[in-house]
Structure 1
Amino acid sequence: MVHEVRKEVRERLGRNSLWDNPSPVGRGWDYEALAGVNIGKTHPVVDDVRAYDGIVTSMKSMDTHLYDYKDSHGILRRANSFVDAFEGFTGVKTVDGFELPLDQIRGYHLEIAVRTDMTQEQRQAFKSVQEYGQTKGIRVIIAEVA
């Protein structure tokens, strides 16, 4: 699977790794490009909307090689803040006019891109984030990206 992801990164971004971009904002935009999101930069919280089934997705990236995320405390603090920020979401209205009102939203997904070589402690922390998300009605997806 990692080999296929690496090939996709190479084809879409022109380099071997998403993580070659040191800027969190730039890396986030690169991850949106990899995922083929439909609203991305036009909305501050939501990056993708599936109007056919009412799923809204917020996408984030966390470089697990950074000092702040070497242990579970840093991961939990940051990733849980993503969940909390998404919890109060009340509908999509973008600058280009696309709209998905609250009554049409059927599910919330928070997708967090991480490196493929996480430690066991990091993996356990992200599992805890997934459990935390469930308590808020948010499906947290951990996407390992080359």
Structure 2
Amino acid sequence: METVFTPVQSLSGGALIGLAAVALMLLRGRILGATGILAGVLLPASRYDWTWRVMMLVGMFAGPWVYFSIAGQLPKISVPASTLLLLLGGFLVGIGVTLGSGCTSGHGVCGLARLSPRSFAATGTFMLTTGLTVYVMRHILGA
């Protein structure tokens, strides 16, 4: 499997995520953690809290359609894994989010910017685990 180098798209996406994180902190005083936002939609503390969370999720799902309006085609996505592996991966991510008290967006984007020691540890763990997983999948298992 070849990883395609997309510096413009990656930089643009990262800048938009950073802008969204800053805007949410400035306007709502909240950290942009995607899993926490979703959890707050499913188990809302109040109607006011639920509304901004739903709007954030709508924005996340609208992203590909904004791309479509600019590029004239949807982004190409290839997932070289079975449905069972995707479900297992989602389950493991859910466990990690629970044990790590947040997801990669909350710790990696917002926590690092706030110089949170817990986020430095969590992000280091994410990165190390990701690197090891890619190495095992590509070089040991040959997937």
TM-score by length of 1: 0.30
Q: Higher helix fraction: Structure 1 or Structure 2?
A: 2
Which of the two has higher C-alpha Rg?
Answer: 2
TM-score by length of 2: 0.30
